[in-house]
Structure 1
Amino acid sequence: MVGIGIPICVQCGTHSNPCRCKVVGPTVGFLAFAAAAVVEWPVGALVYCFRHVKGRKIMAHPATVVYPSVNKAIPI
């Protein structure tokens, strides 16, 4: 039997808290990234057929905007 677990992301070496490790921010950021990617990647692929640059920007949005902003918002 295979269990499906919640992804846990750890980021060490950060200076945003005294422990110098983050667990909650990267994990919530990954979940927000995945949710945004499910919507934006198919839309970006469709737009890419007509406007290449705009489609690439749409598909890159989860990785360049969503994940970093959520990760930085939660310091632990």
Structure 2
Amino acid sequence: MAVGGIPICVQCGTKSNPCRCKVVGPTVGFLAFAAAAIVEWPVGAVVYLFRHMKGRRIMAHPATVVYPTVNRAIPI
């Protein structure tokens, strides 16, 4: 969902807070994911030409490390 061009992510069913819904964590996580992806995907594509597995790890980093870390760090 996007409100005024800003993405709003909602995650319900979590046990990290009493209302069982998160808005801030997933939204900030998505913005951090997008910022990291803008830098890491082109770099990963260039590295992939020479070292396939290293390039794949670089391109997967925003989805496997950045988003989950930021999302878990903010409980609301």
What TM-score results when the alignment is normalised by the length of structure 2? Answer: 0.95
Change (3 A) 1:4 1:46: farther
Q: Deviation at 1:46?
A: 0.1
Structure 2: runs of 5+ lacking an equivalent = none
Structure 1: runs of 5+ lacking an equivalent = none
Question: Aligned equivalents of 2:5 and 2:22: distance in 1?
Answer: 19
Q: Percent identity?
A: 86
Aligned residues: 74
Ranges of 4+ aligned residues in structure 1 off by more than 2 Å: none
Question: Aligned equivalents of 1:60 and 1:44: distance in 2?
Answer: 9
Deviations 1:2-60 (A, max 9, x none): x9510000000000000000000000000000000000000000000000000000000
Q: Is the strand fraction higher in 1 or 2?
A: 2
Alignment RMSD: 1.2
Question: Aligned equivalents of 1:5 and 1:12: distance in 2?
Answer: 22
Question: Aligned equivalents of 1:50 and 1:20: distance in 2?
Answer: 45
